[in-house]
Chains A and B, each alone.
Chain A
Amino acid sequence: MAIAAAPHGGGIADHIHPEPQSFVRRYVFSIDHKIIGIQYIITGFVFFVLAGLLAETIRIQLMHANGGFVSPQTYNEVYSIHGSTMVWLVVIPLLTGGFGNLVFPLQIGARDVAFPWLNMLSYWIFPIAGLMLFSSFLMGAPTAGWTEYPPISLEGQAGTSMWAAAIFLVGVSSTLTGINFVVTIMKMRAPGMTFTRMPLFCWGQFATAPLLMIATTALAAALAALFMERQFGVPFFDPTKGGSPVLWQHMFWFYSHPAVYIMILPAFGIVSEVLPTFSRKPIFGYKLIAFSSMAIALAGFMVWAHHMFTSGLAPYLQLPFMVITFVIAVPTGIKIFSWTATLWGGKIHYTTAMLFAMGFLVLFTLGGITGIFLAAIPFDLHLHGTYFVVAHFHYVLVGGSLMGIFSGMYYWFPKMSGRLLSEKLGKWHFWLFFIGFNGTFLPMHWLGLEGMPRWVSTYDPQFQFWNQFASISSFVMTAGILLFFANILYSIRFGKVAGANPWGARTLEWQIPSPPHYYNFKHIPTVYGLPYDFSQPLPYRGLEDELNDTPPPVAAGAH
C-alpha cells in the first residue's frame, strides 16, 4: 500500500523540491512540515500565556470568599475564554499541528506530509481564529463556560457569536490537519515501515487524526446552528420556539468526548517514545499500546452522554453510556500497565523529559481514576457541577496532556533547534510545576466533595482556606512555567549543541541532523523492524549519508 516504495520510479519519495530562498517562503508561508510544526508550537504557547493570565485572574479572584478582584460578569467571561483557549488554541494545536507536524513525517521516513499547501492553510487559519476568539472580549465575551450551553449562550453577549465563529474556524483547521495526517500515514511510510513497525508516537497521531476529521465536523454543525440561532433567530435550541437545549448538549459532547482523546492520545504517543528511550528498554506491549489507542478512539464515539447524566435523559439511555465509559478504562489501564512495565528493571535516566513523562504517568492515572468515579451515575449526580469535576479534568488535561507536551518539548527541542534545553532549569521547572499543580488541584477534590460549586465568583467562607492554598500553589506552578520560557529563550542561543542524537534514541528522526535538512532524508531509508529493541543494531538501511556532507540527489524527481 505504501506508495513511497518505488525503487527507481521517480515518485514522491524521490522528489525533492528546491529549497525556498526568501525569508517569507521559508519561515512565514512555509510548506515545510517542520517549520509549520514550529509555527504551531510558538503560536500555541503564545495562547498558553494568555490562557495562563486568565487562569491567574481566576485564582486571584478566588483568594477570598467574597472575591472582589473582578466583577462576576468578568469572572464568567474569564473562565469561559480560559477553557476555550486551553482546549482549542493550546492543547489540540500543540499536540496535533505542533508535535504531529514536527515529528511524525520524520518518524515514518517521509519528505513531507501528503498535502503541504493544505498544511500551510491549516496553520494560518489557527492564529486568525485565535485572534477572533480573543476579540470577543471587546464586544462582550461568552459567559457560559467552554461548553456554552443554551439557553445562557443564546442570551449571552455579542461576543458569543464571535466565539462560535472562531471555534468553527479552528475546527476547519483541525479537520484539514486530520485529513492530511491520515493520508500521510496511510500512503507515505518508508519502505518496510509496516503498521506494526511504526513508532508509537505515529500510532498516537494515527488514532487522533480520524477523530479530528470526524468529531470536529460534528462540532462545526453545532456551532453553525448556535450562530444561526443567535444571529438570525433560527430556532434549534430555544425551547420556547420548539427547540431543545439538550440537543446542543448531544451535539457538543458528541464532539467533545472524542476531543478529550484528541487531547490525550498524542500525549500517550509522546510518553511512549520518552519512556523506552530513557529506560533503555524496549517498550512493553507495543501492540497493546498501539491497538488500545485505536480501541479508545473508536469507543470514544459511544460515550458522550456521560456528560449529561443530570440533563434528564431516560435511565435506560444513561445506563449503556455508563457501562461503555467503564469499558473504555480498560484499554487506558492497559497502557498504564505497559508503561509501568517498561520502567520496571530499566536503566532509568532521569532527564527532564523523563521526569515529565513519569509525572504524566502519576497524574494522568489519578485523573483517570476520578474519571471512573464520575462515570458512575449515582456519584455523578452528586458531584456534577462541583469542583470535583474541575479537579478531574485538570488532572487529565494539565497533569496528562500538558505534562506530555512539556515532556515532548524537552525531548524534541534539540531536534527542532539543534540545541539542548538546560537540564538544570528544566528540573526546577518540573518540580515547581509538579508541586504547584498538585497544590492547586488536589484540594479541589475535597472542595468538590464538600459541595463547592463551579462557575461562581464567590463562595462559602468555609472553603476559603483551601482556595487560598490552591491560589498560592498556582503561583508556584506559574513560576515553573516562567522558568520554562526562560529556558527556551536562553537555550536557543546558549544551549549545548545537541548533535543528531543526544538521547541515544532509535526512531528515524534521531538518525538525521538536528535540525534536519528541509528535504528530511537524502535517501529514504528502508525499515526492517521495530525501533524499540535497544539490544539490537538499528533496524534501518540507507542512512549512511545522512550525517556527512554529500548533497542530496536532487535531479531524480525533476519534471
Chain B
Amino acid sequence: MAVASITQGGHDSHGEIDQLYIETRELRLQGFLLFLVSDCVLFSSFIFAYLYLRNSGQGWPPAGINRLDVAFAAVNSVVLFGSGATMHYALENWKHGNFMKFAWMLIFTIVLGVGFLCGQGYEYTNLIFHDHVSWWGSGIFGASFFTLTGMHGFHVFVGVCYLTVLLLQSAGGVYTKDKYFGLTAGTLYWHFVDVIWVVLFSIFYLL
C-alpha cells in the first residue's frame, strides 16, 4: 500500500498546494473523523441508558408526565435540517470560488442554528414552568430527556460558535480556494450534529 503511493504522492506535489499541506490535511481529516466517532459513542451510551431505563417496565411516559409536543419539535427539526442544507451549499460555493454566496450561506446556517437553540429554549421553558418537568425531579424521564437533548444542544451551541469563527477566519483570509480544511471540518461537525438530532427526535418524540 505504502509503495503504491510513492508515485501518487509525487504526482500531487507539483500542484498549487504543497505536499506538506496535503499530508497534514489527510491526517487532520482522519483524526477529526475519529473524534466524531468517539463523540458518537458518547451519545450512543446515553441513548442506550435511556432505552434501557425506558424499557425497565415502568410504562412510558411515566405517570403524571405528558407526551412531548411533537408538532413544535418537528418544526424546530426542520430548522436544524435546513441549516444542514445551507452549510452544504456554503462549502460547495467555497470550492467553486463563489465567496460571497459562501458567506451568505454560512450566515444563514448560523442564524438557523441560533433559531434551533431558541426553539429548544422555548421548549425547555414550557416543560419546566408549565408542565413542571425538571432535570432532577421527574425521574428517569427528566434525566434522560434533558441530559441527551442538553448534550445535543450544547453541541449545536459549540457548532454555532465554531461556524462564527470560521466566518470571521474566511473573511480574514485564513483559507484559500484550495486550502480550506477548517471549513470541511466545520461542515462535517454540523452534519454530525444533524444526524444525532435525527436519532434523538425519533427516540424521544416519535417512539
A residues touching B (Cβ–Cβ < 8 Å)? 1-12, 15, 114-115, 118, 175, 178-180, 182-183, 186-195, 213-214, 216-218, 220-222, 225, 228, 232-236, 241-244, 247, 250-251, 254, 557, 559
Contact = CB atoms under 8 A, between A and B. Distances in A.
Contacts of A242: 53, 56, 58, 62, 139-140
Interface string B112-139: 0000000000000000000000011101
B139 A235 contact: yes
Residues of A contacting B: mostly: helix
B97 interface: no
B13 interface: yes
B3 interface: yes
Contact of A10 (B20, B26, B49): B20
A108 to B, nearest CB: 10
B37 interface: yes
B46 interface: yes
A183 B56 contact: no
Closest 3 CB pairs of A and B: A6-B9, A221-B45, A9-B19
Interface string B179-196: 000000000000000000
Interface of B: 1-3, 5-6, 9-10, 12-13, 18-20, 22-24, 26-27, 30-31, 34-35, 37-39, 41-42, 44-46, 48-49, 52-53, 56, 58, 62, 135-137, 139-140, 142-144, 146-147
Question: Which of A118, A192, A222, A234 has the most B CB atoms < 10 Å from its CB?
Answer: A234
Given A1-B2, A12-B23, A187-B30, A232 B45 contact: no
B49 A190 contact: no
Given A5-B9, A242-B53, A192 B2 contact: yes
Most B CB within 10 A of own CB, among A1, A187, A217: A217
A241 B140 contact: yes
A180 B34 CA distance: 9
A179 B31 contact: yes
22 contacts: A3-B5, A5-B3, A6-B9, A6-B10, A7-B10, A9-B9, A11-B13, A11-B22, A115-B31, A178-B34, A178-B38, A179-B34, A179-B35, A190-B2, A191-B3, A213-B38, A214-B38, A218-B41, A225-B49, A242-B53, A242-B56, A242-B58
Contacts of B3: 5, 191-192, 194
Contacts, number: 162
Interface of B: prevailing SS: helix
Contacts of A190: 2
Contacts of B27: 12, 114-115, 183, 187-188
A313 B170 CA distance: 55
Nearest to B46: A221
B171 to A, nearest CB: 24
Contacts of B45: 217-218, 220-222, 251, 254
Given A179-B31, A235-B136, A242-B140, A191 B2 contact: yes
A15 B19 CA distance: 10
B177 to A, nearest CB: 19
Contact of A217 (B9, B41, B135): B41
B18 A10 contact: yes
B53 A247 contact: yes
Contacts of A114: 27, 30-31
Contacts of B13: 6, 8-11
B34 A235 contact: no
Contacts of A216: 38
B20 A3 contact: no
A9 B21 CA distance: 11
Given A180-B31, A247-B53, A559 B18 contact: yes
Nearest to B6: A5
A247 B47 CA distance: 12
Interface centre among B2, B24, B140 (most CB of A within 10 A): B2
A217 B38 contact: yes
B151 to A, nearest CB: 9
Given A214-B38, A214-B41, A234-B135, A194 B31 contact: no
Contacts of B58: 242
A236 B34 contact: no
B31 A183 contact: yes
A485 B87 CA distance: 57
A409 to B, nearest CB: 30
A179 B38 contact: yes
Given A114-B31, A192-B3, A243-B53, A232 B135 contact: yes
B1 A195 contact: yes
B124 to A, nearest CB: 15
Contacts of B18: 9-10, 559
A222 B49 CA distance: 9
Contacts of A191: 2-3, 6
B10 A244 contact: no
Contacts of A15: 20
A175 B38 contact: yes
A178 B27 CA distance: 14
B125 to A, nearest CB: 19
Given A10-B13, A15-B20, A235-B136, A228 B2 contact: no
A234 B37 contact: no
Nearest to A190: B2
A183 B34 contact: yes
A12 B20 contact: yes
Given A2-B5, A9-B18, A221-B49, 8 more contacts: A178-B34, A189-B2, A193-B2, A232-B135, A234-B135, A234-B136, A235-B136, A242-B58
B34 A213 contact: yes
